Amino acid sequence: MFFEAVFQPSSDMNYNGEAKHLEGKTIAVQDGWVVKEGPFKGQNCFYIPNSTIGWIPQCDLIGLKPIPLVKYKEILKNLGFHN
| Comparison of pLDDT for 82 and 75, the residue scoring more | 75
Average pLDDT, the chain: 92
What confidence score (pLDDT) does residue 83 get? 55
DSSP annotation string for 14-77: ---HHHHHTTTSEEEEEEEEE--SSTTTT-EEEE-TT-S--EEEGGGEEEEEE--HHHHHHHHH
pTM of the full predicted structure?
Answer: 0.89
Task: For residue 72, give its domain range.
Answer: 2-79
Our count of domains for the chain comes to 1
